Structure 1
Amino acid sequence: MGAAEMEIERRDRVTHGDYVAKLHGSDSTAKLSWTDRGGVRHAEHTFVPTSFRGQGIAEKLVQALVADARKHGFKIAPDCSYVDTYFRRHAELAELRA
C-alpha cells in the first residue's frame, strides 16, 4: 500500500487530536498531532517512522488536515516544521494559515 491508498484515521478530542496512518506491513503508525487554541488548530508535530520516510506519508497527513480546515472552517497554525514547509510550498493555502 502506497501513500495514495493510505487510510487516515481522524482522532478528534475537541481541544486536541491526531491524524493517524497505519503503515502497511507494520505495527507502526505515522501521526500529525494538533491542539486547538482559540479556534485555530496548531499543527504541533508530524512523525513518520524512519523506514517509511520519503513515501509521501507526512504529506497525506497534512492534506487530511487541510481538507478538514476547508470543510469545517478552521485556520491552521503550522507550528511543526514539516507543516510550515508544506504551507510555504503551497501558496494557494495562504487563506487557511493562521
Structure 2
Amino acid sequence: MTEPDIQVEDRGAKGRYFVAGPDGAVAEMTFTKAGEHQLIIDHTEVPDAFRGQGIGLRLVTRAVEDARAAGKKIIPLCPFANAQFHRHPEWADVLKK
C-alpha cells in the first residue's frame, strides 16, 4: 500500500495539512499563523477510514519539518498535537515555550 501524499493548503492566516483518501475521506490538521514566526496547531481530525495508519502523527511531523525549515515555532493547542510533542522530545527546537 502506498502512503498517501500530505498536501498543504495555505489560506493566508489559516491553513491545513491534509490527506485525501480514495473514498473521499479527508484527514486534516488545521493551523493558524500567529505573526510571521509562529504557527498554532488548532485541530487534528482523522476519520475512521484512516485510523491505525499513523496519519495523525504524519500530519504533525510534516508541520514540524516545515516549521524547522522555515525557522518557525509551533504552539500545539490541539490535544493530539500537544501529546505528540510530549512523545517527541527531538521536536523541542520548534516548540514555542
Structure 1 equivalent of residue 49 of structure 2: 51
Structure 2 equivalent of residue 13 of structure 1: 11
Structure 2 equivalent of residue 78 of structure 1: 76
In the alignment, the residues of structure 2 paired with residue 49 and residue 92 of structure 1 have an alpha-carbon distance, to the nearest angstrom, of: 28
Structure 2 equivalent of residue 35 of structure 1: 32
After TM superposition, what 4+ stretches of structure 1 lie above 3 angstroms from structure 2? Answer: none
Percent identity at matched positions? 38
- How many residues align? The count is 95
- Which residues of structure 1 form unaligned runs of 5+? none
Assess if the C-alpha contact under 8 Å between 2:17 and 2:59 holds in 1.
yes
In the alignment, the residues of structure 2 paired with residue 67 and residue 51 of structure 1 have an alpha-carbon distance, to the nearest angstrom, of: 25
Assess if the C-alpha contact under 8 Å between 2:76 and 2:82 holds in 1.
yes
Structure 1 equivalent of residue 23 of structure 2: 26
Question: What amino acid maps onto 1:70 in structure 2?
Answer: R
Question: Cα deviations across residues 7-62 of structure 1 (Å, max 9, x unaligned)?
Answer: 01100122110001012x31111000000112311000000102321210101111
TM-score, length-scaled by structure 2: 0.90
Assess if the C-alpha contact under 8 Å between 2:25 and 2:49 holds in 1.
no
RMSD: 1.2
Question: Cα deviations across residues 56-90 of structure 1 (Å, max 9, x unaligned)?
Answer: 01011111101100111110001001100100001
In the alignment, the residues of structure 2 paired with residue 57 and residue 16 of structure 1 have an alpha-carbon distance, to the nearest angstrom, of: 21
- State which of 53, 63, 67 in structure 2 corresponds to 1:65: 63
